[in-house]
Amino acid sequence: MEREDEQKGQTMEAEAEVKEKKGFFSRLVKGLQKTSMQIGSGVESIFQRFSSLDQEFYEEIEEILVLADVGVHTSMSIVEELKKKVKEQKIKKPDECRELLMQSMVQQMDLGENSYLFEEKTSVLLLVGVNGVGKTTSTAKLAANLKAQGKKVLLAAADTFRAAATEQLSEWAKKTGVELIAHQEGSDPAAVIYDAVSAAKSRKTDVLLCDTAGRLHNKKNLMEELKKIDRIIQKEFPNAHQEVFVVVDGTTGQNALEQVRQFQEVTQLSGIILTKLDGTAKGGVAVAIQAELGVPVKYIGIGEKADDLQKFNAKEYVQALLQKVD
């Protein structure tokens, strides 16, 4: 009887997980509606209109991908891959290309298994990015996510640029029930990091999440500040697993690629958090980032609430992009 109950419990848990996954997927599809309209419905209409796989057919597919922010270079590579697969598999009809197009897109984004090692270790995560992309919100979402997994989380308010920044993170800390290390407005952010690292060590924190101020690559002093923060973490917490995530706003399109490149120049990036995919974002940018820069997208943000953050899955994402919208 006990075993039966246990099995029942497990089934319900599994069902809840599937439901949650489905829920997130449909929200992702909804968020990416604009892109799905372009790619999913666009491609579908090409499949219907063309009766043979001629040059024009491929050109139209490429055009649709470019318009959805996949980027010229990556779009060309996807179409090349598609052509290759069509030839290999001796496909004759456009209508039979659906699955092959999806495979070609996923293949472009393949960076091996996306790892979330930091979840298993004592780690420090630094979130960087330009102004307003969603760094603070993503820091809070990650905190909520890790806390739900039973981890001991600590937040560092290293955006001392504006008083409101610390207040914003402090409110999130209260809401999510995690501790926060903060200094006064105008103080040295590196000092906040120093204190936060000491606290993380003495409190036996699992994951220390550091929010930082928005910075542009042409503000040299701010980029220097970032290097200093990086150095402090490496020096003071050498045993911790360290990662730097750059947060980019999905609605900025190809500009997001440029932002990632600029941060790559000053720090060793381990991943990307792509936000605001619930808005007007043309989600193709995630494909371009992984294909052209080789930096893995780790998380995607699809809203402003604590649970609006999801681990990135390339196959699922491409499925959402290719979803036909009526």
User: Taking the complex as a whole, how short is the minimal distance between the CB of residue 103 and ligand GTP, in angstroms?
Assistant: 28
Looking at the Cβ atoms of 237 and 245, the one nearer to ligand GTP is 245
Spatial strand order in the sheet of 309-311: 179-181, 153-158, 207-212, 123-128, 241-249, 271-275, 297-301, 309-311
Shortest Å, Cβ 189 to ligand GTP: 12
Residue 28 beta carbon to ligand GTP: minimum distance, rounded to whole angstroms: 11
3-state secondary structure of 319: helix
Residue 20 near ligand GTP by CB under 6 A: no
- Residues that contact ligand GTP, how many (by CB under 6 A): 20
Residue 276: both structure tokens together: 């605001």
* 136 touches Mg ion (CB under 5 A): yes
Residue 275 binds to Mg ion (criterion: CB under 5 A): no
**Binding of residue 159 to ligand GTP (CB under 6 A):** yes
Q: Select from 137, 252, 270, 310 the one that contacts ligand GTP (CB under 6 A).
A: 137
Does 35 interact with Mg ion (rule: CB under 5 A)?
no
Residue pair 154/199 in contact (Cβ under 8 Å)? The answer is yes
Spell out, one character per residue from 108 to 127, where the chain touches ligand GTP: x when CB under 6 A holds, - when not. Answer: --------------------
Q: Which is nearer to Mg ion, 108 or 168 (CB)?
A: 168
Nearer to ligand GTP, 107 or 262 (CB): 262
Separation of alpha carbons 101 and 81, rounded Å: 8
Residue 303 contact, options ligand GTP, Mg ion, none, Cβ 5-8 Å cut-off depending on partner type: ligand GTP
Determine contact, residues 203/155, Cβ cutoff 8 Å.
Answer: no
Select 43 or 302, whichever has its Cβ closest to ligand GTP: 302
Contact 286, 317 (CB under 8 A): yes
Conformational region of residue 314, where left means phi above 0, alpha means psi within -120 to 50, and beta covers everything else? alpha
CA atoms within 13 A on the CB side of 19: 6
251 lines the binding site for Mg ion (CB under 5 A): no
DSSP SS3 for 277: coil
**Closest CB to ligand GTP among residues 62, 249:** 249
Piece of 9-17, 60-68, 136-144, 173-181 that binds Mg ion (CB under 5 A): 136-144
**CA distance linking residue 121 with residue 242, whole number of Å:** 10
Alpha carbon distance 158, 69 (integer Å) = 32
Query: Does 45 sit near ligand GTP (CB under 6 A)?
Result: no
Residue from the set 254, 262, 293, 303 that interacts with ligand GTP by CB under 6 A: 303
Contact track, ligand GTP, 241-280, x by CB under 6 A: ----------------------------------xx-xx-
E strands in the chain: 123-128, 153-158, 179-181, 207-212, 241-249, 271-275, 297-301, 309-311
Secondary structure class of 181 (helix, strand, coil) = strand
Binding residues (CB under 6 A) for ligand GTP: these are 129, 131-137, 159, 165, 214, 275-276, 278-279, 301-304, 308
